């Protein structure tokens, strides 16, 4: 029987179950956030990555600890995959002082600079040049780290995309641009907003490689990103890796999703990246049904605990308002 999984050679069994656990953490985190918004328990807005777990987890799984990421407005999954504590993430959404941004950043600004998460970003395309700059530091200081820049299909139509990719290309910066093509820029279908099938095709105009991977297959993502990371780390410059995926939820909480059909949603739900990984691991004999259930339950509990942690965390006081504007 041919293997169901196209496994990167260096991966161990423990790593595999970690992938599954992280993907479940993302799923449960997002579902919890969705629920709290619906109940009015947390305010602002949020952009959920349900359905996109494989691209976040698969991309970051091939990084080393020292590597850095920049994220997007749909960044919860990237943060979790980069090792963020879900307690502090949830607390941030609750606006508490224990949150990653002491309650001042909210969903779109979760960052952990010391751990290499240079931040989610409320500006579409805001991360391109910042990623290039972080990669420039790596190159100038000979630090050896790679920067992984997440972006969406919509962001590839921003001017900053072109400018930063050109710059990264001519300077051979150690950066990998990972497009999570979830088919929509807010309500705009990718196929109506650009006249090409693949964002990765744009790589050609910067003289860099562009590769399309199945964004719902965590292993395909890992293999594609791994190749690009190796290239970046060995001084050969940037690449684009485009993960084709789908956001199950709307753009943000106010989205009635009138621009797409239920059939289309069902088609993508059938490609659930988590079920796919779980089933593959079981069929390959790398995981038992019970093992899978345990991992799932553990992930769920962590998210439940993060809610309790957040509810018990203190609110900022008015004295905190003017803190941290300047270093």
Residue numbers of the site for other proteins (CB under 8 A)? Answer: 68, 70, 99-105, 109, 111-114, 118-119, 121-123, 126, 128-138, 140-141, 159-160, 163-164, 166-167, 170, 323-327
Q: What does the alpha-carbon distance between residue 82 and residue 232 come to, in Å, rounded to a whole number?
A: 19
CB of 35 to other proteins, least distance (A): 25
Contacts of 28 (CB under 8 A, 6+ apart): 299, 300, 302, 303
CB of 36 to other proteins, least distance (A): 21
Of 264 and 314, the one with the shorter C-beta distance to other proteins is 314
CB of 112 to other proteins, least distance (A): 7
CB of 211 to other proteins, least distance (A): 23
245 closest CA partner among 280, 213, 199, 200: 213
Of 114 and 290, the one with the shorter C-beta distance to other proteins is 114
Of 45 and 166, the one with the shorter C-beta distance to other proteins is 166
CB of 169 to other proteins, least distance (A): 10
Asked if residue 8 lies in contact with residue 62, where contact means CB atoms within 8 angstroms, the answer is yes
Tokens standing for 165? 């990719």
Of 99 and 224, the one with the shorter C-beta distance to other proteins is 99
CB of 317 to other proteins, least distance (A): 14
Q: Is 236 exposed, middle or buried (0-12, 13-18, 19+ CB in 10 A)?
A: middle
Tokens standing for 53? 């777990």
Tokens standing for 304? 């439940």
CB of 290 to other proteins, least distance (A): 40
Instruction: Classify each residue of 72-94 as buried b or exposed e, where b means 16 or more C-beta atoms within 10 Å of its C-beta.
Output: bbbbbbbbbbbebbbbbbbbbbb
Asked if residue 199 lies in contact with residue 242, where contact means CB atoms within 8 angstroms, the answer is yes
* Distance set, CA 297 to CA 17, 139, 301, 313, 318 (Å): 13, 42, 6, 24, 39
CB of 135 to other proteins, least distance (A): 8
Q: Is 271 exposed, middle or buried (0-12, 13-18, 19+ CB in 10 A)?
A: middle
260 closest CA partner among 270, 271, 248: 248
Q: What does the alpha-carbon distance between residue 77 and residue 318 come to, in Å, rounded to a whole number?
A: 31
Of 61 and 124, the one with the shorter C-beta distance to other proteins is 124
Of 162 and 296, the one with the shorter C-beta distance to other proteins is 162
Of 95 and 273, the one with the shorter C-beta distance to other proteins is 95
Of 114 and 263, the one with the shorter C-beta distance to other proteins is 114
């Amino acid at each position: 029987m041919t293997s169901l999984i196209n496994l990167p050679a260096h991966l161990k069994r423990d790593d595999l179950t970690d992938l599954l656990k992280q993907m479940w953490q993302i799923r449960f985190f997002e579902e919890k956030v969705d629920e709290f918004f619906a109940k009015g328990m947390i305010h602002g807005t949020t952009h959920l990555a349900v359905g996109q777990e494989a691209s976040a987890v698969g991309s970051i799984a091939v990084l080393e600890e020292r590597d850095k990421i920049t994220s997007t407005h749909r960044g919860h999954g990237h943060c979790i995959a980069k090792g963020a504590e879900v307690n502090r993430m949830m607390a941030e959404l609750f606006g508490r002082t224990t949150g990653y941004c002491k309650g001042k950043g909210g969903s779109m600004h979760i960052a952990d600079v010391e751990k290499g998460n240079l931040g989610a970003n409320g500006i579409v395309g805001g991360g391109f040049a910042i990623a290039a700059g972080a990669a420039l530091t790596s190159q100038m200081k000979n630090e050896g780290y790679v920067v992984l820049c997440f972006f969406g299909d919509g962001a590839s139509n921003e001017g900053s995309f072109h400018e930063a990719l050109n710059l990264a290309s001519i300077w051979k910066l150690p950066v990998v641009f990972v497009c999570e093509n979830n088919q929509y820029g807010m309500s705009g279908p990718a196929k109506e907003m650009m006249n090409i099938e693949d964002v990765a095709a744009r790589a050609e105009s910067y003289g860099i490689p562009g590769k399309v991977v199945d964004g719902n297959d965590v292993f395909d993502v890992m293999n594609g990103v791994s190749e690009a990371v190796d290239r970046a780390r060995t001084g050969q410059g940037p690449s684009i890796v485009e993960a084709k995926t789908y956001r199950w939820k709307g753009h943000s909480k106010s989205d009635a999703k009138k621009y797409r059909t239920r059939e289309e949603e069902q088609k993508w739900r059938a490609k659930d990246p988590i079920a796919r990984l779980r089933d593959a691991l079981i069929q390959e004999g790398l995981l038992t049904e019970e093992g899978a259930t345990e991992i799932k339950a553990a992930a769920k509990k962590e998210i439940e605990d993060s809610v309790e942690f957040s509810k018990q965390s203190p609110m900022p006081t008015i004295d905190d308002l003017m803190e941290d504007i300047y270093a």
